């Protein structure tokens, strides 16, 4: 009983903190259980945030199916049992980047724009056979990509200014028996676009949650910047 009460107290405290930040607590699938007829999830131990902004008319990283796709490249240095991803647009007004967060220059330059946003759609992929950070640029540009899934609308996230819950979230559990679905060391990317055909523009915050702390995770808008960030850390 004491453990249950402690868990409830911690959950309430975390929920209160998250509400002040205008985002709900990011919670995992791992360890999910029923308590008093309610689904209870443990919050991710580690949450990494990336603040971004896409200018109107910006050149996409790729075009397919009539949609413009952009990518966030992620280096994950150790295997993980579960990864959570979510993207919210626009960035909630009370949320500001912290010292450990990743921030696009365009976000800083357009931080006063609180009205532009897009209907988010996200995917998560891993580069085939890029397991050394030295190979991020040379092999990352020609690598095949293994798809772990995608998400459009998620009811757990707050509404957009339109009043619709069009923000995106997904949780991915490693499949040890399936190499194509195992969350191993390597180069990953978060693909994002808008569900509707049209422009991706405005601010967004992308978050990566993990059930165990993963030191050394880096996020960048391109492979060169990702490699440079890792090189800098190694010095």
Is it true that domain 44-234 has CATH number 2.60.120.380?
A: yes
CB 10 within 8 A of CB 2: no
pLDDT of res. 156:
94
Instruction: Dump pLDDT digits (tens) for 62-92.
Output: 998 888 999 999 999 999 999 999 999 999 9
pLDDT at 125 over 90: yes
pLDDT of res. 132:
95
pLDDT at 177 over 60: yes
Q: Whole-model pTM above 0.85? A: yes
CB 77 within 8 A of CB 185: yes
Q: What is the DSSP string of 180-200?
A: GG---SEEEEEEEEESSSS--
pLDDT of res. 21:
54
pLDDT of res. 201:
95
Pairing of strands 120-127, 145-151: antiparallel
The residue-averaged pLDDT of 208-213 equals 94
Q: What is the 3-state secondary structure (H, E, C) of 39-74?
A: EECCECCEEEEEEEEECCCCCCCEEECCEEEEEEEE
149 Cβ neighbours under 8 A, 6+ residues apart: 123, 124, 170, 172
Percent of the chain with pLDDT over 70: 90
Per-domain residue ranges for the chain?
A: 44-234
Higher-confidence residue: 108 or 6? 108
pLDDT of res. 11:
45
């Amino acid at each position: 009983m004491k453990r249950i009460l402690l868990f409830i107290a911690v959950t309430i405290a975390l929920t209160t903190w998250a509400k002040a930040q205008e985002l709900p607590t990011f919670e995992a699938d791992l360890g999910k259980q029923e308590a008093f007829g309610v689904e209870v999830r443990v919050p991710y131990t580690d949450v990494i945030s990336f603040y971004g902004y896409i200018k109107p008319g910006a050149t996409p990283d790729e075009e397919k199916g009539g949609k413009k796709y952009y990518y966030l490249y992620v280096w994950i240095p150790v295997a993980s049992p579960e990864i959570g991803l979510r993207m919210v647009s626009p960035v909630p007004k009370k949320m500001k980047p912290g010292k450990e967060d990743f921030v696009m220059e365009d976000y800083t330059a357009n931080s006063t724009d609180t009205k532009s946003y897009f209907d988010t759609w996200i995917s998560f992929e891993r580069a085939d056979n890029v397991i050394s950070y030295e190979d991020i640029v040379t092999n990352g540009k020609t690598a095949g990509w293994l798809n772990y899934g995608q998400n459009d609308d998620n009811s757990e996230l707050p509404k957009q200014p339109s009043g619709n819950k069009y923000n995106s979230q997904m949780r991915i559990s490693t499949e040890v028996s399936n190499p194509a679905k195992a969350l191993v060391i390597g180069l990953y990317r978060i693909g994002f676009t808008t569900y509707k055909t049209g422009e991706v523009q405005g601010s967004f915050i992308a978050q990566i949650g993990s059930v165990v702390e993963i030191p050394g995770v880096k996020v960048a808008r391109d492979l060169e910047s990702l490699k440079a960030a890792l090189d800098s850390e190694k010095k």
